[in-house]
Copies of this chain bind each other. A is one copy, B any other.
Amino acid sequence: MFSLQLKEYDIFVGDHREPLSAFLKAGNYSKIVVLVDANTKRHCLPLVLEGLDFEVFTIEIPAGEQHKTLETCQQVWSEMSQLSLDRHSLLICLGGGVTGDLGGFSAAAFLRGIDFIQIPTTLLSMADSSIGGKVGVDFNFVKNIIGFFQNPRAVFINPVFLKTLPDSEIRSGFAEIFKHALIADAALWSELQSVHDLRQVDWERLLPPSLAVKKRIVEEDPHEKGIRKALNFGHTVGHAVESFSLKTGNPLLHGEAVALGIVCESWLSWKLAGLPELDLHEITAFVRRFYEPYPLRTDDFSQLLALMKKDKKNEQGRINFTLLPEIGAAKIDWYADEKLIGESLEYYIREFQ
């Protein structure tokens, strides 16, 4: 069991049973509700309820990003009302990013805020969305446009839940982990070089240093005014490719698209920010080790650029990047013109096809 103390709450990594019981006992909640989807209800809820000495209610939402909407929130709020939750009640979000983001938002807005905790069940939500207090939903097909910053009371990360996940989900979460190494922890990056099979990784050992990077950055800049943008490395291109891939019927998971974005933005880092060429090649080879090539074509570039222009972090229409001057360090607020971004995509095509 490893625990990471943040300013407002703790993250527990390892077997959740003891710390969860202790947390619930100390909280003395009037009612406890677990938010699940069909998958986590079946695969994860039994492990959470096992040996738990509390009466627990469940609310089930439909699985999938397409349900991360205000309509689903309204379903959750209706059921919360029917269960007569009061301000001393607790919501446990048991699932991936959708359950965590939507559940956190629903709890934070019910009766002006009831307590919630996160039990992430995907590697992506363990590595990424369990820290940082971002909660919210999609609206009018724009991701996370409705939401706010509200921290959970605690996060329980138990890698046992990863056993039932498909490989693609593990790959997706892994991208955020090695991104954290690239932007702020060169030692972790070195350690990751010894990883060859994602099914053999000891996550209980690898997650804590990765979480520590994100903790450091979000506590320095909780509302994303500055340095928190460092976490955006790989995401300017990554988000665009993710959206693009959804439309083409060959969808990439978030982290898979970010891995592609990391290759392109490492190339931009080499071109603009002084990243040594050897490091660029090391990063490229590392991504190739775990991720299938994605069939990008030069014809797609204009669509990708149009998507990049919609990024929340842009100012005055210029496309904003976080780049690496070296492995283990990030600098925010770089801008690249369309020609250079196109060349970075060409680099990806060359290296991966």
A72 smallest CB distance to B (angstroms): 12
Cβ contact of A136, chosen from B74, B112, B150, B224, cutoff 8 A: B112
Contact with B along A213-244 (1 / 0, CB 8 A): 00000000001100000000000000000000
Q: Decide: B312 and A148 in contact? CB cutoff 8 A.
A: no
Q: Are the C-beta atoms of A112 and B142 separated by less than 8 Å?
A: no
In the complex, are the beta carbons of A149 and B70 less than 8 A apart? no
* Residues of the B chain whose Cβ atoms lie less than 8 Å from the Cβ of A149: 112-113
Asked if A146 lies at the interface with its beta carbon under 8 angstroms from chain B, I say: yes
Contact partner of A139 (CB less than 8 A), chosen from B74, B113, B142, is B74
Q: Which of B81, B86, B113, B134 contacts A148 (CB 8 A)?
A: B113
Q: Is the CB of B140 within 8 A of A78?
A: yes
Q: Which of A33-91 contact B (CB under 8 A)?
A: 70, 74, 77-78, 81, 86-87
A111 at the interface (CB under 8 A from B): yes
Q: Within 8 Å of chain B (Cβ to Cβ): is A145?
A: yes
Q: Assembly of this chain: how many copies?
A: 2
How far apart are the CA atoms of A109 and B223 in the complex, in Å? 13
Q: How far is the CA of A181 from the CA of B111 in the complex (A)?
A: 28
Roughly how many angstroms separate A63 CA and B316 CA in the complex, as a whole number?
35
A110 is an interface residue with CB less than 8 A from chain B: yes
Q: Are A148 and B148 in contact, CB atoms less than 8 angstroms apart? A: yes
Contact status of A312 and B142, CB under 8 A, knowing A70-B70, A74-B70, A148-B148:
no
Question: Complex: how many Å from CA A287 to CA B190?
Answer: 76
Annotate A133-167 by CB proximity to B: 1 below 8 A, 0 otherwise. Answer: 01010011010111111100000000000000000
What is the 8 Å Cβ interface bit string for chain A, positions 174-212, against chain B (1 contact, 0 not)? 000000000000000000000000000000000000000
In the complex, A108 has a CB within 8 A of chain B: yes
Residues of B within 8 A of A78 (CB): 140
Residue A112 contacts which of B87, B110, B148 (CB distance < 8 angstroms)?
B148
CA distance A144 to B112 in the complex (A): 8
How close is A88's CB to chain B, nearest CB, in angstroms? 8
Chain B residue nearest to A81 (CB atoms) is B140
Interface contacts beyond A109-B146, A112-B223: sample of 6 additional A-B pairs, CB < 8 Å, sorted by A: A77-B139, A81-B145, A109-B147, A112-B136, A113-B149, A148-B148
| 21 A-B residue pairs with CB within 8 Å | A70-B70, A70-B74, A77-B139, A77-B140, A77-B146, A78-B140, A81-B140, A86-B312, A87-B312, A109-B109, A109-B147, A110-B145, A110-B146, A112-B134, A112-B136, A112-B148, A112-B223, A113-B149, A113-B223, A148-B148, A148-B150
